[in-house]
Structure 1
Amino acid sequence: MSKTKQEQAVGITDEIILNKIYYLRDQKVMLDSDSAELYGVVTKRLNEQVGRNIDRFPADFMFTITQEEFENLKSKIATSSWGGRRTLPNVFTEHGVLMLSSIIIANKLFK
């Protein structure tokens, strides 16, 4: 039997969230794929919503990492499943993650 969204949310611990926070460009950030996983959406859809609401994501909320930063992250995360990404990931600062929540919630409410 699959878990409801509420049951899934209860299972998210501080440790899980802390393990998804990285330090890049002197900022704490979270990858788009990790944010999508925590919010229970597909990364592609999360990035589509960001693109549709790009004016809500200034540079201090979100940025796309460089190839060098991406390679550095991959080398530090041995258990990650990076799969066939075709684009460099977006990362979100604390304010960006909060903005994501408002966009994702609004999008889910009106489906």
Structure 2
Amino acid sequence: MLGSRACLALGTDIWIVTDQQHRVHAPSHARVIELDAPTQIETTLSQGLPANPSDAAAEVRDRLGNRAVSQQLTAAYQGVTDAWRIGIAKIPAVVVDQRYVVYGEPDVAHAMARIQAYRETHP
């Protein structure tokens, strides 16, 4: 198993791109991007709304005005944008330095070991 020190030696920019159905155990220093996070937040925002459309719209505006919710939504969409920008094609994906990626491996330590092995043979 690859420890934290070895993970940091690989690169300090570690992203885990996944969703609610593909859970992974990420190291604490990794950025976890859940592609379905915006949908999850939007679903929460729409729960318990009044039946009257005008009251419901006002309630959603109030909820979106909450700084914490706004920051969560912004971060969630930024994560999706970043994953799209670097060309993530499948999930789960373990990405190091926005350059090396292992797809379909839920064991992050194993994915990191594969990336390290590749980097050692392709300096």
Provide TM-score, normalisation by structure 2.
Answer: 0.25
Structure index of larger Rg: 2
Q: Which has the higher contact order (CA 8 A, sep 6+)?
A: 2
